[in-house]
Structure 1
Amino acid sequence: MTKKNSKYEKARMVSARAFQLAVNAPPEVSVSPSDEPLDVATKEYYEDKLPLKVVHKKKR
């Protein structure tokens, strides 16, 4: 990711993506049939191919 995410943001993004993969969303990286959704989501995160982003609200 271009901006370093906190460990909480990373955990939320990877878990949300793993859920999407578990309900048959197409993966953004090459995978084998035996790969678990959490492993695929983590691989997508580290290869910067995770189709999710964190949006921070501006402070007033």
Structure 2
Amino acid sequence: MKYTRFEKARIIGARALQISFGAPVLVDVPAGMLDPIDIAMLEYDKDLVPITVIRE
């Protein structure tokens, strides 16, 4: 599914919030990467984010 830039921002933001509150990370994080937004973007790029969009 192709997401709009707004949906992408919402997905990455929601996932980053989950990661910052201690949710398990679904990718192997490089040694220097600590920012939850960067980790969420890495998950999004690898298509591993467990969040979907429902359109009506």
TM-score (norm 1): 0.85
Identity of aligned residues (%): 38
| 1:1-60 alignment runs, 5 A limit | 3-32=1-30, 34-35=32-33, 36-57=35-56
The count of residues paired between Structure 1 and Structure 2 equals: 55
Gaps of 5+ in 2: none
What is the CA–CA distance in structure 2 between the aligned matches of 1:11 and 1:32, rounded to whole Å? 22
Larger radius of gyration, structure 1 or 2?
1
State the superposition RMSD in angstroms: 1.1
Structure 1 runs (4+) greater than 6 angstroms displaced: none
What is the CA–CA distance in structure 2 between the aligned matches of 1:34 and 1:20, rounded to whole Å? 20
